[in-house]
């Protein structure tokens, strides 16, 4: 009996040890990296900021200045409610004391400065494809923004989703940290569009269905799906539905929110358009080039149909 008990204890210890190793945070940058901490380009960082949609989640709700990043927006999901944090330059309530390495680890690996895992409601699953230089430029821009006082409340998540360490297992299963690199067989515009769409603008995060664990279904990427907040159905944006859209019509949608049929987009896409309107026309056209090249994919069935 004692031998059996000893074996069970050893197995439990081995299991806990394996869990701890598998779920350990994986960083992409270390503090003090001189190349990473070199000053970035503020104007390039402004483009990264708007392409990345930072204001859509982190701007303080119910105020007009989209550069006051006090957070607080509630994002409902099947797993509970997430609250976007304060990412202003405030040294206590925001990220004013962060290094560029801290920002890189957060955006590319979903790891907080203290080593805790971030939930993928923060779309680091797409940002993981970013270039480190763009993180450097983004930090340069964010340091020019005003500090905002006030800490945001904790996420409202039931057990077991409130145990952050388990996110290490989720990352091992679903987080692809392969950077988005240029395809030499494609032209510069298509490659720029791919980088913007897949990494910075993280378009697939909303326009793709997800599995039971909240990860994007790779076979139906961009084919639309249920809105995570339960507000209807996000449209399919592959050529299966939008095959006749021209480059100009796509750029018009992104920059002005006007569809090829002359309608205006609504809902959360309205906020996306505000971000995209800040990008150069060439970037909008580059995204159009990439989106028009996506494989045609069938939309997932809608509930009740």
Is 12 inside any structural domain?
Answer: no
Q: Is residue 243 part of a domain?
A: yes
Residues 37, 150, single domain; the answer is yes
Q: Are residues 107 and 217 in the same domain?
A: no
Kindly state whether residues 52 and 109 are assigned to the same domain.
Answer: yes
| Cα separation, 41 vs 133, whole angstroms | 9
What confidence tier does 300 reach under pLDDT thresholds 50, 70, 90?
confident
Q: How far apart are CA 39 and CA 35, in angstroms?
A: 9
Task: Reply yes or no on whether the pLDDT at 12 is more than 80.
Answer: no
Residues 6+ apart with CB under 8 A from 231: 267
Q: Are residues 85 and 158 in the same domain?
A: yes
Supply the pLDDT for residue 145: 97
CA 260 to chain CA centroid, Å, is: 27
Report whether 115 contacts 105 (CB < 8 A): no
Decide if 64 is inside a domain.
yes
Please tell me whether residues 158 and 266 are part of one structural domain. Answer: no
pLDDT at 23: 65
Q: Give the residue ranges of DSSP H helices in 23-86.
A: 34-37, 42-51, 54-58
Q: Is the pTM of this model over 0.85?
A: yes
The answer to whether residue 52 is domain-embedded is yes
- 82: three-class secondary structure by DSSP: strand
- The angle formed by the CA atoms of residues 167, 181 and 41, to the nearest 5 degrees, is 90
pLDDT tens digits along 174-193: 999 999 999 999 999 999 99
Of 34 and 95, more confident: 95
How many domains does the chain contain in total? 2
156 and 210 fall within a common domain = no
pLDDT the model gives residue 18:
52
Is residue 184 in a domain? no
Query: Would you say residue 42 lies in a domain?
Result: yes
Instruction: Specify if 156 maps to a domain.
Output: yes
- Do residue 169 and residue 216 come from a single domain? no
pLDDT at position 27, please? 79
Expressed as residue numbers, the domain containing 243 is 206-292
In a domain, 127, yes or no: yes
Q: Is residue 170 domain-shared with residue 32, that is, in the same domain?
A: yes
What gap in Å lies between CA 91 and CA 148, rounded to an integer?
Answer: 9
């Amino acid at each position: 009996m004692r031998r059996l008990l000893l074996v069970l204890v050893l197995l439990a210890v081995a299991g806990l040890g394996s869990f701890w190793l598998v779920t350990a945070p994986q960083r992409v940058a270390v503090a003090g990296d001189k190349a990473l901490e070199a000053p970035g380009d503020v104007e390039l960082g402004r483009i990264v900021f708007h392409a990345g949609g930072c204001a859509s989640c982190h701007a303080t709700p119910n105020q007009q200045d989209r550069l006051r990043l006090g957070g607080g927006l509630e994002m409902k999901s099947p797993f509970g409610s997430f609250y976007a944090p304060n990412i202003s330059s405030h040294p206590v309530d925001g990220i004013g004391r962060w290094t560029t390495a801290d920002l890189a680890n957060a955006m590319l690996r979903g790891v907080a400065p203290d080593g805790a895992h971030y939930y993928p409601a923060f779309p680091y699953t797409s940002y993981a494809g970013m270039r480190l230089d763009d993180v450097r430029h983004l930090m340069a821009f964010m340091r020019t923004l005003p500090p905002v006082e006030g800490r945001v409340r904790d996420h409202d998540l039931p057990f077991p989703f409130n145990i952050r360490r388990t996110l290490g297992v989720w990352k091992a299963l679903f987080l692809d940290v392969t950077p988005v690199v240029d395809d030499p067989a494609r032209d510069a515009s298509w490659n720029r569009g791919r980088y913007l769409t897949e990494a910075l603008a993280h378009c697939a995060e909303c326009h793709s269905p997800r599995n039971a664990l909240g990860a994007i279904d790779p076979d139906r990427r961009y084919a639309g799906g249920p809105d995570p907040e339960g507000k209807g159905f996000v449209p399919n944006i592959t050529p299966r539905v939008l095959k006749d859209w021209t480059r100009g019509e796509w750029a018009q949608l992104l920059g002005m929110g006007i569809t090829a049929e002359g309608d205006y987009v609504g809902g959360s896409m309205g906020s996306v358009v505000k971000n995209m309107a800040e990008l150069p026309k060439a970037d909008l056209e580059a995204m159009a080039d990439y989106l028009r090249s996506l494989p045609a994919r069938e939309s997932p069935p809608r509930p009740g149909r």
